[in-house]
Structure 1
Amino acid sequence: MKVFASSRLRKSGQMLIRVEYAPINDSDLLVASGLYAVQPKLPSVVGNEGAGKVFAVGDGVQNVKVGDRVVIPHGVFSWAEKVLAPAEEAIVLPPEIDPQQASMLSINPPAAALLLEEFVSLKPGDWIVQNAANSGVGRAVIVFAKQKGVRTINIVRRSELVHELKVIGADIV
């Protein structure tokens, strides 16, 4: 284990992030079990997304500073206490953004966008039906569908979620 005593890194252009949130996705479990289509070079940790605070920066880093909260860049495995990442790929989070929610930005919203764009040609006024609408992907589907003028029917298990989903744009829950 490397111990970093200062807020400067020897490697220029890099940032060291102290991981605060690293969600568990199905893809993480598939990677860990060796069943995912793309496998990391071993030895490796897993974790496809996350968020944390910048702990140290390398020489030449201008776009991020120690203490900034960032989304862990895609391709940097997040199931660790600290991760080293290219600073140029930093997405600095504004203070009002919940870091737990931001930690899930790399997988769920792109999956929702693909669902709405790649499988069928949806037009404003069309309807879609989705199960597990309160999941990260489901919530993103609601928001993106609303932006496209596509209406949504959303299925959830618990009635207390109805209002929450309507607030973000669900038509029927």
Structure 2
Amino acid sequence: MSVKARAARIHQYGAPEVLEFEDILIPDPGDGEALVRSTVIGLNFVDVYFRRGTMEVPSFPAVIGNEAAGIVEAIGRNVSSVKVGDRVVFGHSTGAYATAGLHPADRLAVIPDGVSDEQAAASFLKGLTARYLVKDVVPLKPGDTILYHAAAGGVGQIFVQWAKSLGYRVIGTVSSDGKADIARQAGCDHVINYSTEDFVARTFELTGGLGVDAVFDSVGEDTFRGSLAVLKVRGTLVQFGKASGEITPIDPYVLAPKSLHLTWGRLDHYVVTPTQTAAAADDLFAGIKSGVLKVDPTRIYSFEDVVEAHRDLEERRTTGSAVLRVTQ
């Protein structure tokens, strides 16, 4: 029997106003699926990419978004990882901008006691992203110095907290003095406002001219060349986004003078299988419950205010993690 849900769908790419609320019908869960009634929906900049068309949706109309917490209302055949009534969160499935939806059961993580729906939806995708960046992409050791761009953002704050718990020295960059305060509160040893300072020159000042072991950059064109410039010999630039625009292609020879490494990381290449998803989720939830990671959302919008939320995301008026609360 179909279930009615309310969804914010797009029928074309464009500005935030292309998000339109419509009633949809959700069929019974099929083999390996679970029906999840959403309580809190996560907001991520990648949602803007899909809305604009920077990243393509499979077809129109499309329900974008890939992170939400909620309650399992029904399960299909061959589902043993979750049961009806479980509080769950997902960050690998599509169609989050809806009050209910079908999702692969093996991509759901059961939210443990001690972690709220708001915390889970605010941190799951961002937390798993921060985790693979800080733990899996670059072989770092305690005492290494790293630079993280947009350190006041949702992924950035989780990354900084985790990096400090692992013993790394963290330099964060931000775009305003207000965001600088947030980055310091997250644990950055030094913060650079790249709107008023030359982050390359300042980084070399802070490192005695040596540079950093690794840079983590989701900004893109505005910071890419500088990110390469501040690396030590055999340093690594981990690019994982392009919020400021497309990156101008480079000749690989520019890496040669310092034998630099350049990689573009993607979460779905580091957390692939159900076993990897469960292990990463357990690590994240343990960090939240222990207090190592503080992930409460900094802004809670109503689901009905999704257009306003997208405007704020696009204009970089949000700091930390923002979520959409669903009223059934």
Are 2:165 and 1:165 aligned?
Answer: no
Structure 2, unpaired ranges of 5+: 5-27, 192-328
Deviations 1:102-145 (A, max 9, x none): 11444323443465465x76442122344653432122212331
Q: Is the 8 A contact 2:93 2:107 kept in 1?
A: no
In structure 1, distance between residues paired with 2:90 and 2:166: 28
Give the counterpart of 2:42 among 10, 23, 32.
23
Q: Which residue of 1 aligns with 2:281?
A: none
Structure 1, unpaired ranges of 5+: none
Are 2:153 and 1:135 aligned?
Answer: yes
In structure 1, distance between residues paired with 2:129 and 2:32: 30
Secondary structure of the structure 1 residue equivalent to 2:96: coil
| Aligned residue type for 1:3 | V
TM-score of the superposed pair, with normalisation by structure 1: 0.74
Give the counterpart of 1:79 among 97, 101, 108.
97
Give the counterpart of 2:86 among 48, 64, 68.
68
Q: Is the 8 A contact 2:30 2:76 kept in 1?
A: yes
C-alpha distance 137-159 of structure 1, shift in aligned 2 (>3 A): closer
Per-residue deviation at 1:64? 1.4
Per-residue deviation at 1:146? 2.4
In structure 1, distance between residues paired with 2:95 and 2:3: 19
Are 2:74 and 1:35 aligned?
Answer: no
TM-score of the superposed pair, with normalisation by structure 2: 0.42
Q: Which residue of 2 aligns with 1:11?
A: 30
In structure 2, distance between residues paired with 1:162 and 1:29: 23
In structure 2, distance between residues paired with 1:61 and 1:111: 26
Per-residue deviation at 1:88? 2.4
Query: Percent of counterpart pairs with the same letter?
Result: 35
Deviations 1:71-119 (A, max 9, x none): 125132200010101222221011211222211444323443465465x
C-alpha distance 85-158 of structure 1, shift in aligned 2 (>3 A): closer
Q: Relative to total residues, which structure has the larger helix share, 1 or 2?
A: 2
Q: Is the 8 A contact 2:43 2:122 kept in 1?
A: no
Q: Which residue of 1 aligns with 2:254?
A: none
Root-mean-square deviation (CA, aligned residues, Å) is: 3.1
Per-residue deviation at 1:44? 1.6
Count of residues paired in the alignment:
164
Q: Is the 8 A contact 1:49 1:105 kept in 2?
A: no
More deviation in 157-166 or 146-155?
157-166
Q: Relative to total residues, which structure has the larger strand share, 1 or 2?
A: 2
| Aligned residue type for 1:76 | T
In structure 1, distance between residues paired with 2:77 and 2:128: 32
Q: Which residue of 2 aligns with 1:88?
A: 106
Per-residue deviation at 1:56? 1.5
Q: Which residue of 2 aligns with 1:98?
A: 116
In structure 1, distance between residues paired with 2:45 and 2:120: 18
Q: Which residue of 2 aligns with 1:57?
A: 75
C-alpha distance 143-70 of structure 1, shift in aligned 2 (>3 A): same
